[in-house]
Structures are given as structure tokens and as C-alpha cells.
């Protein structure tokens, strides 16, 4: 087949003993992916070698031809595979780790959904995603409403201009409505904010992909890419030869694409939010405290109130994470809870480990270079856009319109505000 062209209240959690996830041996055992440069690349890709040149690692037997291979079965790759399969495109999704793994940035039970950005590009993109989340069905998005406080300059105007106005409340009124939070100035409330269930979303997108005729393979590391007019995707089991390859591998992007595509600098950091036990059944909105060293949070049913600093964690190699919290950052997060979150117990908490992959301006990379489609740099604020990102990636893989030029890989000096 050719490529197609065309919950309100949260009960108080009991005190409990917490243990960190240990560093899993499987993370070290899987080989790092490798880029293999070949002849026939489009001008933007350096030309070295040949598709007929032997791979020094040795090839597994057999080559399977397919329209599109998606490398990376996290949220973005799974959404791309779903969108492609829904268009009748022959698609194979390859994921390095087992289903439900915790090594990337797509696991867990809670992510914030919001339309609230000062930038109309992101407001429009989030609105597209909202419609798609609702189409995907119940159990993924719970609209709790959300509050922004601190520097809310431009937020009410941006949402009103997009036809989705919110409400500005004085601090006293906001404290009365949400006693679990402390405010020191005006608060912007938006009713469409809420919580996404990340694990369920990834599972559903993969299940829909297979139901629509796509193939999903876990525990299938990609050893390298050979790029020409088509792309050979090398795995332990076999080689896939595809017209297009969507690369959505998060923290591993630079490792896989090194030498193949010019990308903005991508910085991988280990971040450490935590779940804090609520002190009562107070209703919690999603919240963002817009200040130097921004802090976000939301209720995660059964786990507590998730609170995290937005970025700023230590730079890490995704293949060498220890998953352990850094004492200083954890102490700062607990101090924030003491000062700003009267609705939680700052001494009853469970650390979480995740990664951010960030561009210098926090804008995404959604672009195509020859036969390679790129998805990277979601910087801790990308999950809300997942189904819309899938649409953009499917467009790029099938010669469709794609996304906003803002997300092109080659725009120098991009500026963005999250």
C-alpha cells in the first residue's frame, strides 16, 4: 500500500511508607540507538555510505516494506500511529521498552490539561486537542477547572480572544473557593482545565492503532536508521524499509538522529515532582503558580496532590538515570508546599521521577526532513496536545499540511512562552 496523500473531591490519603523505583537493569541492557548515514539523502542530510553498505553490527535477516514506521511508543508516537492507521496508512509502531514502562515522559495517572496560554498558537493547538480528547472518550480527561496565579498578565485577554473566556477572582474569593491553595493576588480561573490520565491514553492509542490494522511492537529497540530515498529501520529481529519514519523518542532524540538532521539544542533533565497527602477532602483544581521557578499541581486520585517545579532539574543521560530525588530540590518542593499549599501535609509525600526534553525556547519541534518526521522538545508541557500532535505528525508523514511553522526545526531564534 502506498502512503496516503491526502473528580472533584479527593479523599484524604492515609500516611504511608514510600519507596523509590529502583534503577531497572533493562534500561542499561538495551543498546543505544545509532544513526547510519547513507547515499540518496535529500540535500538537508549529509551523504555518506550506501543503503547496500553492510551494517558493522550485522543485519538480522529479512526486510519488511511498510508505508510508515513510528519509532517511539510514548504518547506522541502512539498518537501518530493512531492517526496514520485511521487514515488507512500501513503503519508499524516500535517501542524500545515493555508496555507501561516508566523510563520516559508518558507514564503515570495525571497530566494537566489547559487551554490557558498567553500565546494564541498554543491556545488554538490546545483547543484542537480538547476536541480530540473528547472524541477519544471517557476516562482520559476529567475537567476539574484550573487556576493560574502569580503573573497572569495576558491570560484573560488571550482566552477571551480565542472565544473561551475565564474568570478573574480576587485572592480572598479564590481562597474561599479553593482552601487548599494560598494566593497573594488575582487568580485566573478557566473551567476547561483538568486532568489527563497518561497511562490510559497511551494504552488506548495503541489499542486503537492495532484495531485499525496497524502493528505495535514493544521491547523492540531500534539499533539505527539508514536514510536514503526511503529509510531502513534496523532492529534485532528485522529491518523495516519505510517511505517515512516518524521519530518520537523523547529523551533519546539526539542519540538516534545525531548526524542525520539539524535540530535545535535538546536538553534532557531529570525532574522530580511528588505526590503530597491531602489533609482533607478539599476540592482541587489544576493549578499553575506563575513566578520565577514556576510550580504546577493537580489531584491524582488514589495518590495525592501532585506538585512539581516546572523544569530546572539536573541534566541527565536517559540511559544512566538513577531515579533518585536530589535532596535540595526535594527540600525546596516541600518548603513550597508548607508556604503555599495549606491543603497538603508537606511531611507525607512520595517522590516521582520523570524527564523533560527541552528546546532553548520551550517550543516543540514538529517538522519533516526528507523522509524523516520529527517530534521532540515537549518540555514538560506537551502531553495536553497529544492527539493534535498525532494529527500534525500524520500530516507530515503523508504530505499533508502539518502544523504551525512555529514548530519547524530550522527556525533560528525561536521564542515561546509556556
235 has a pLDDT exceeding 50: yes
CB 387 within 8 A of CB 136: yes
pLDDT of 374 over the 90 cut: yes
Helices then strands, counting H and E runs in the chain, come out as 9, 22
Query: In 10 A of CB 111, how many CB atoms?
Result: 26
What does each C-alpha distance from 317 to 25, 103, 201, 267, 372 come to in angstroms? 15, 12, 26, 10, 24
Is 112's pLDDT higher than 60? Answer: yes
Of the candidates 330, 98, 85, 328, which has an alpha carbon nearest to the alpha carbon of residue 208?
A: 85
Tell me the pTM: 0.85
At 132 the pLDDT is: 98
Express as a percent the part of the chain with pLDDT over 90.
Answer: 77
- Ramachandran area for residue 250 (φ above 0: left; ψ -120 to 50: alpha; else beta): left
416 pLDDT higher than 70: no
Alpha carbon 127 to chain centroid distance? 17
Phi and psi (nearest 5°) for 195?
A: -125, 130
Per-residue pLDDT averaged across 198-213, rounded?
Answer: 98
Where does the pLDDT of residue 411 fall: very low under 50, low under 70, confident under 90, or very high at 90 and above? low
Beta strands in 72-208 (DSSP E): 91-94, 111-113, 141-142, 146-150, 167-169, 187-190, 194-196
Average pLDDT estimate for 260-273: 93
pLDDT level of residue 17 (50, 70, 90 thresholds): very low
Average pLDDT rounded to a whole number, residues 270-282: 95
Higher pLDDT among residues 197 and 411, named by residue: 197
Dihedral sign (CA 230, 233, 234, 239): negative
Kindly report the average pLDDT of the chain as a whole number.
Answer: 85
Amino acid at each position: 500500500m502506498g502512503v496516503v496523500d491526502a473528580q472533584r473531591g479527593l479523599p484524604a490519603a492515609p500516611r504511608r511508607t514510600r519507596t523509590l523505583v529502583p534503577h531497572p537493569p533493562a534500561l542499561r541492557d538495551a543498546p543505544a540507538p545509532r544513526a547510519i548515514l547513507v547515499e540518496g539523502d535529500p540535500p538537508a542530510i549529509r551523504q555518506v555510505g550506501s543503503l547496500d553498505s553492510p551494517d558493522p553490527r550485522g543485519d538480522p535477516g529479512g526486510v519488511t516494506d511498510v508505508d510508515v514506521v513510528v519509532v517511539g511508543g510514548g504518547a506522541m508516537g502512539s498518537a501518530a500511529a493512531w492517526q496514520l492507521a485511521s487514515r488507512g496508512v500501513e503503519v508499524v509502531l516500535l517501542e524500545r521498552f515493555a508496555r507501561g514502562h516508566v523510563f520516559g515522559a508518558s507514564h503515570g495517572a495525571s497530566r494537566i490539561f489547559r487551554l490557558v496560554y498567553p500565546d494564541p498558537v498554543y491556545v488554538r493547538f490546545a483547543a484542537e486537542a480538547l476536541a480530540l480528547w473528547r472524541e477519544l472518550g471517557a476516562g482520559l480527561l476529567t475537567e476539574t477547572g484550573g487556576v493560574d496565579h502569580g503573573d497572569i498578565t495576558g491570560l484573560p485577554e488571550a482566552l477571551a480572544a480565542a472565544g473561551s473566556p475565564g474568570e478573574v477572582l480576587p485572592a480572598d474569593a479564590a481562597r474561599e473557593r479553593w482552601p487548599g491553595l494560598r494566593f497573594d493576588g488575582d487568580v485566573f480561573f478557566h473551567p476547561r482545565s483538568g486532568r489527563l490520565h497518561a497511562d490510559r491514553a497511551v494504552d488506548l492509542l495503541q489499542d486503537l492503532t492495532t484495531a485499525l490494522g496497524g502493528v505495535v511492537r514493544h521491547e523492540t529497540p531500534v539499533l539505527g536508521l539508514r536514510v536514503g530515498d526511503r529509510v531502513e529501520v534496523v532492529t534485532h529481529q528485522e529491518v523495516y524499509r519505510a517511505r517515512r519514519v516518524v521519530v518520537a523518542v523523547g529523551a533519546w532524540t539526539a542519540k538516534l538522529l545525531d548526524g542525520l538532521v539539524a535540530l535545535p539544542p535538546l536538553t534532557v533533565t531529570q525532574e522530580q515532582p511528588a505526590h503530597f497527602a491531602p489533609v482533607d477532602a478539599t476540592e482541587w483544581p489544576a493549578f499553575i503558580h506563575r513566578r520565577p521557578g514556576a510550580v504546577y499541581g493537580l489531584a491524582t486520585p488514589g495518590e495525592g496532590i501532585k506538585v512539581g517545579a516546572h523544569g530546572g532539574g539536573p541534566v541527565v543521560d536517559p540511559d544512566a538515570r538513577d531515579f533518585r530525588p536530589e535532596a535540595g530540590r526535594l527540600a525546596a518542593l516541600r518548603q513550597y508546599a508548607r508556604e503555599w499549599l495549606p491543603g497538603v501535609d508537606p511531611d507525607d509525600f512520595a517522590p516521582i521521577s520523570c524527564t523533560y526534553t527541552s528546546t532553548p525556547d520551550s517550543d516543540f519541534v514538529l517538522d519533516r526532513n526528507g523522509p524523516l518526521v520529527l517530534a521532540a522538545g515537549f518540555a514538560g508541557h506537551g502531553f495536553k496536545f497529544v492527539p493534535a500532535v498525532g494529527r500534525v505528525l500524520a500530516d507530515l508523514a503523508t504530505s499533508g499540511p502539518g502544523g504551525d511553522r512555529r514548530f519547524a526545526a530550522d527556525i533560528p531564534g525561536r521564542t515561546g512562552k509556556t
